[in-house]
């Protein structure tokens, strides 16, 4: 069983996302969903996953 952490901090620097708190450089959401990118199997972390909670400003 996984213990819930209610003090989690999600660091972010994606300026185009509406959830970014720009002054603190953190995500304002309580949690995010990370999902694999479609058709990517390169093994490079930048190619393998992305934030599914992203919303354009």
Vertex 52: Cα angle to 45 and 43 (nearest 5): 15
Distance CA 17, CA 57 (A): 5
Distance CA 19, CA 50 (A): 15
- pLDDT, tens digit (0-9, with 9 covering 90-100), for 37-50: 887 777 777 778 88
Q: Does the global pTM surpass 0.75?
A: no
- pLDDT, tens digit (0-9, with 9 covering 90-100), for 15-26: 999 999 999 999
The answer to whether 22 touches 16, Cβ cutoff 8 Å, is no
- Measured between alpha carbons, how far is residue 6 from residues 3, 10, 25, 33 in Å? 10, 12, 19, 16
């Amino acid at each position: 069983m996984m213990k819930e952490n209610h003090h989690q901090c999600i660091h972010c620097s994606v300026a185009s996302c509406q959830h970014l708190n720009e002054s603190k450089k953190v995500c304002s959401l309580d949690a995010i969903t990370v999902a694999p990118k479609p058709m990517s199997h390169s093994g490079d972390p930048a190619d393998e996953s992305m934030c599914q909670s992203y919303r354009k400003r």
